[in-house]
Structure 1
């Protein structure tokens, strides 16, 4: 993967965005990921119930990773109860979960009849959609491991359009943190009453803006710029910018900028080099 550790958030996000497709292609063909993808593709159509999913460790792990729930893999009893829930019942476990990842898992898998029926697992389009989600989540996780602000920005870009209420925003750490940063809301606000937080967000922007890709990108530009300003990663002095925009002295003593064409980056070369830079 392309190393972005130590870069400012603005530069890191720009580089990650420009190389996203090539990085995801590398992930999909990686040794571990390709084995997990093949295991999922070859066995998912045999799974019709929640019990069958839990009983297949490789497919179960794949599904959990795709929904960014790798930290919950060992909570099989809870996952079983969630997936067997009936969301039409107000007291169902799925309706009591505050972590939006569980709702995404529940909705994405689509088990019905108490977890005994699934019409998705034989649908090729659904299968490939989950493979794409797995690869994209691996891409985001790698970015986040190197540069937390970039990982949050990528998650925001992916999840923003699915928001239905301000409470969805508050329940998603990446969404809420990016918006607090972009809108100038102090981090300490995260600890106050939820209704008051909703009032503060609603007073600064319309929720519908999150469904507008142009507004989402505008929010991300503000978030990364302000994050860099707070961390001291100013563009003029950023080590990342030194990498991306070098300078060469001419005979007259003037400096001529050299700009790096991001589209020309050979991702495979940078991926290999990253092992020596971390």
Structure 2
């Protein structure tokens, strides 16, 4: 049986507990039978893989490779993954460089099939590198099965500082956030923006995000979240406001249900 992460509650209190126990829970998760079995299989065979075709032809290896970058949902899209890996990252016209979702770029850079004569799968520490990513992502997925907002909070600790430290413009960072389902959801909640903001033109979204971030955090630049203290404050804001949204939604649903039940008991019609 797989290890199930322990969450005591949602929101900031649950986040504090998860942070205190994270290293122990991650270790227990990594030791579970399923994760250990797939990790050992990957470690034993990945150094024999020299082409994208060979990787996509082995479903178990491909599952770990995609899982390491949060792309497990693409497991059956093998032709596309093969093209991404073949084209690599060095050519500005490569598929991975054109996609707004930068997980594919990280994937092809990690394996190096299209960038080097000898792919990075031949490196002695390559398996360790990919498995560390895989185990962390799989743990986040397991957490998300119990509390998706907690999964997002965990992902933020990895993705947001990495983005903040990049040598790119403020606008480029915001466009990356907007294109990321995880980070855009977190910023919408933390900045108290409605879900409908996602339907606006990306340039409008960029202006809204940056202006609201300046009002709330004192700076419009996502680079500020490279600071651990600011990242922690942002994570708490996200969890607290996401919890309030969830409570409001549940209360509205409960009120509607109660109204319907009352009407049914009284033989009333709610039709206009």
With normalisation by structure 1, the TM-score equals 0.76
Structure 1 residues 8 and 57: alpha-carbon distance in aligned structure 2, compared to 1, 3 A threshold: closer
Q: What runs of 5+ residues in structure 1 fail to find an aligned partner? A: 234-278
The aligned counterpart of 1:97 is 99
**Larger relative contact order (C-alpha < 8 A, sep ≥ 6)?**
1
Instruction: Report if the CA contact (8 A) 1:9-1:147 is conserved.
Output: no
| Equivalent position to 1:192, from 176, 195, 200 | 200
Higher helix share: 2
The aligned counterpart of 2:5 is 2
Q: Using the alignment, how far apart are the partners of 2:136 and 2:227 within structure 1?
A: 21
Number of residue equivalences? 230
| Equivalent position to 1:221, from 214, 232, 236 | 236
Instruction: Report if the CA contact (8 A) 1:182-1:223 is conserved.
Output: yes
The aligned counterpart of 2:132 is 132
Q: CA deviation at 1:13?
A: 1.9
SS of corresponding position for 2:121: coil
* 1:51 partnered with 2:53: yes
Instruction: Report if the CA contact (8 A) 1:85-1:92 is conserved.
Output: yes
The aligned counterpart of 2:258 is none
Instruction: Report if the CA contact (8 A) 2:84-2:96 is conserved.
Output: yes
Q: CA deviation at 1:88?
A: 4.0
Counterparts of 1:4-23 in structure 2, within 5 Å, are 4=7, 7-23=9-25
Output the aligned Cα RMSD: 2.0
Instruction: Report if the CA contact (8 A) 2:5-2:29 is conserved.
Output: no
SS of corresponding position for 1:74: coil
Counterparts of 1:1-278 in structure 2, within 5 Å, are 1-4=4-7, 7-113=9-115, 117-118=118-119, 120-163=120-163, 164=166, 165-203=173-211, 204=213, 205-232=220-247
Instruction: Report if the CA contact (8 A) 2:89-2:105 is conserved.
Output: no
- 1:138-163 residue CA offsets vs partner (Å, 9 max, x unmatched): 11001111111111111111100222
With normalisation by structure 2, the TM-score equals 0.78
Structure 1 residues 232 and 56: alpha-carbon distance in aligned structure 2, compared to 1, 3 A threshold: closer
Q: Using the alignment, how far apart are the partners of 1:231 and 1:65 within structure 2?
A: 28
Q: Using the alignment, how far apart are the partners of 2:239 and 2:18 within structure 1?
A: 13
Q: Using the alignment, how far apart are the partners of 2:124 and 2:161 within structure 1?
A: 25
Q: Using the alignment, how far apart are the partners of 1:218 and 1:183 within structure 2?
A: 12
Q: What runs of 5+ residues in structure 2 fail to find an aligned partner? A: 167-172, 214-219, 249-272
SS of corresponding position for 2:118: coil
